[in-house]
Structure 1
């Protein structure tokens, strides 16, 4: 650690600044979870409100487009804001939640499905921007020892809290017999509240010291930020730290890990968003639950405890073991659930909505098997790959924004594909086959993690990304 100019940031204890930063970034992530999961809960109500009925020729198409439009927008938003982050992490922070606020409110006014699809695309652009900026800012401000748990809490857990809240609001509105056409509009529009709550705070958050030193080359401002975070007056950095290396240079040097991080988020989101978007409708129907109750049970009883497990272990056990075990657990419980459906003769016709429940099928066992998929998801890759942790920890400061945007876009592309491929697989081959397919993808992801991804636990960002070698080389040249 001798040559690391950010040593004082990495070794400082957690303090008020870190927790304020956690809330400021976390509430945007809360909104991400709320917005992306709420559509799955109310999707049936939305389509019914627009006169699109199960069994109609357009049902599967609109089912996919309404569910997936925000994900396509997120992929594009991630790529745009990944490039903009080269001009400053903070500079565009707040614009992301601004887009999310406007998009959430406009959903309630959408007169038809086509308009709602366009509005959710705009909403998705804000979500994609947040997926790039929030994990970067969290990581670049936080110490090395606690970085894993802070990102897992601020990104993974807050996402789960948002999803749970969406389910709770839907349950509450349904219990007081609000009109279904009003319920979905209130649920989707309510996503504006947490997003708007942190616009001001995000505009006031300081630029990260790593950006100031390694990209902007402003040592004085960098020292001021370090003093603010560490409460120390002694910041001894005198050498020019500006990194003039190109994206091509770092991609050639670190391509294996960059590409591995992209593939893992891509594979994870295919499985995760098949559940997020269609679990509350298709899987819930098999289990005999309403969409909102299904979402609440799986999030509150399984996903949130899985996130707590990740927070407790991520800086002790490490990212790699948790992710491998998590992917293997996801694969195993998906396969067990699929096998259980087949053995008991339980099927769902996605085209007509017709459900056949086998005489030996137990909904409680089904909920447990599917719920444990959610537990293992959040205990592993949901708190690591899907929190953006790999993208920020494996990439040097100079290209962190671009690499993170590529990993986010890869994940959103995977999620977008899931919005089309999962209902198509169910419609063509049955629900059991579709779930088995997802299981195979998760086994594959476990193997890729084991072979490609290095451990980054408790390492400063400059060490985990290999950037420290570059900094020391620049010092020697100077």
Structure 2
């Protein structure tokens, strides 16, 4: 392995030193709409569940049905990530656009299902597309970004847009309900609308060039690299000789094993906690506070998640990944513990909403802008294995979320709201300790230096 130094990243100096420009904005929009769709689709099911039950003449779902309906998309996402991770190593652009095509078809198909079982099956397909997108989009964004703004790029494209998508799902439900739209149409329209943002970027994704780091380090093409750098930087640039990476993937998997395990573990722990709110907050928590699912979702996203994402966006490249994630996890844990201990003593629902919302704020300010943006899978490993590792980290997060989908409802029913939320607070403390002990800091480092990638 080459030692870290000036020569290590000289071939990518034009990229690392470039200013934020129109290409970066285009990349944020093109990649971010997939995450917007993810936020919309995964949040909307919890919001419209009462309408679905009314439409199919059911008073409630069995515990198993509830878990399958919320968890099928997450299981699909884990499988999609594991499939598209290795595929991304054969070319980032080659498969880009197929992910949002799957999202578009599946989102639209939800509007026409005739029973709960069909909806579960369609949402599994939807999740498959989400998993593919979560592999490809962060890798493409990270490999196109400059060193100074890489954290901001990922936090903007993945942290902020997710929360906005979730808020739009709540607003759409409230507007349709207020307009007197029949319950059977409300949920079909809300779920079907998820096809619009994903369809809007299919063409743009197919037009994006291959990432400069892929053409240099994997393909070893000097001519292609020069063309791509010019497209990203916006002007001709002096290009150092391209050095194809001849280090075997097996060597990288061995030397980076601890980093890979860290990225997987931290996303797993975050999704264990975060998806309890995403999937069941609009029903279980909102019901305990006496507010509607739509109102709960809108307040959580617009008053807490989106502002948290904006704070994370402002600080991620200044304070660093590690302190932001530690503070975020500790804040989440403290908010959940206080909510649990003080529940039943709230003077009106707004006090409870504020306290529970604080964990959403801290969540998105910290780990939601670091681990859940795909940042660790991008920054901690070399270009040659980045696709596969990103697939593993995404799958780890979705496995954590799926466990929440299947375990939280019976846990909630068995031990009660207060104890269940206390357990989530304890998980946050564990995640903060793991971050402090295991996570290296990568802020402002060129991607190859952050990833300890050999260029010898």
- TM-score interval, smaller chain: over 0.9
Question: Is the 1:43–1:63 Cα contact (8 Å) retained in structure 2?
Answer: no
Question: Is the 2:54–2:183 Cα contact (8 Å) retained in structure 1?
Answer: no
Partner of residue 291 from structure 1, selected from 290, 293, 313: 293
Shift of 1:231: 3.0
Residue 367, structure 1, aligned to residue 353, structure 2: yes
Tell me the residue number matched to 1:36: 42
Tell me the residue number matched to 2:379: 393
Gaps of 5+ in 1: 345-357, 474-478
Question: Is the 1:425–1:433 Cα contact (8 Å) retained in structure 2?
Answer: no
Separation (CA, whole Å) in 2 of partners of 1:458 and 1:451: 21
Question: Is the 1:227–1:235 Cα contact (8 Å) retained in structure 2?
Answer: no
Partner of residue 399 from structure 2, selected from 398, 413, 420: 413
Partner of residue 194 from structure 1, selected from 167, 175, 197: 197
Question: Is the 1:152–1:383 Cα contact (8 Å) retained in structure 2?
Answer: yes
Q: Secondary structure at the match of 2:114?
A: coil
1:42/1:246 CA distance change after superposition, 3 Å = farther
CA RMSD in angstroms comes to 1.2
Partner of residue 146 from structure 2, selected from 143, 147, 166: 143
Tell me the residue number matched to 1:352: none
Separation (CA, whole Å) in 2 of partners of 1:235 and 1:66: 53
Residue 77, structure 1, aligned to residue 80, structure 2: yes
- 1:238-257 → structure 2 map (5 Å cutoff): 238-239=241-242, 241-257=243-259
Tell me the residue number matched to 1:404: 390
Shift of 1:53: 2.1
Q: Say how many residue pairs are matched.
A: 450
Return 256-265 or 360-369, whichever deviates more: 360-369
Residue 110, structure 1, aligned to residue 116, structure 2: no
Tell me the residue number matched to 2:7: 2
Task: Tell me the alpha carbon deviations over residues 186-214 of structure 1, each in whole angstroms, 9 at most, x when there is no partner.
Answer: 00000000000000000000000101011
- 1:127-166 → structure 2 map (5 Å cutoff): 127-166=130-169
Task: Tell me the alpha carbon deviations over residues 2-37 of structure 1, each in whole angstroms, 9 at most, x when there is no partner.
Answer: 332111100000111111111111111111111111
- 1:330-345 → structure 2 map (5 Å cutoff): 330-341=332-343, 344=344
Task: Tell me the alpha carbon deviations over residues 24-60 of structure 1, each in whole angstroms, 9 at most, x when there is no partner.
Answer: 1111111111111111111232233223323xxx521
Question: Is the 1:338–1:432 Cα contact (8 Å) retained in structure 2?
Answer: yes
Residue 438, structure 1, aligned to residue 424, structure 2: yes
Separation (CA, whole Å) in 2 of partners of 1:406 and 1:242: 24
Q: Secondary structure at the match of 1:51?
A: coil
Shift of 1:184: 0.6
Separation (CA, whole Å) in 2 of partners of 1:422 and 1:389: 27
Task: Tell me the alpha carbon deviations over residues 292-320 of structure 1, each in whole angstroms, 9 at most, x when there is no partner.
Answer: 10000000000010001001111111111
Question: Is the 1:307–1:379 Cα contact (8 Å) retained in structure 2?
Answer: yes
- 1:9-88 → structure 2 map (5 Å cutoff): 9-54=15-60, 59-88=62-91
Separation (CA, whole Å) in 2 of partners of 1:231 and 1:251: 35
Separation (CA, whole Å) in 1 of partners of 2:272 and 2:8: 41
Gaps of 5+ in 2: 1-5
Partner of residue 410 from structure 2, selected from 424, 440, 453: 424
Return 58-67 or 410-419, whichever deviates more: 58-67
Q: Secondary structure at the match of 2:8?
A: coil
Question: Is the 1:37–1:276 Cα contact (8 Å) retained in structure 2?
Answer: yes
- 1:190-339 → structure 2 map (5 Å cutoff): 190-239=193-242, 241-339=243-341
Separation (CA, whole Å) in 1 of partners of 2:220 and 2:175: 52
Q: Secondary structure at the match of 1:383?
A: coil
Task: Tell me the alpha carbon deviations over residues 62-112 of structure 1, each in whole angstroms, 9 at most, x when there is no partner.
Answer: 111111100000000001111110111011000000000000000011111
Return 252-261 or 384-393, whichever deviates more: 252-261
Question: Is the 2:268–2:401 Cα contact (8 Å) retained in structure 1?
Answer: yes
TM-score (norm 2): 0.97
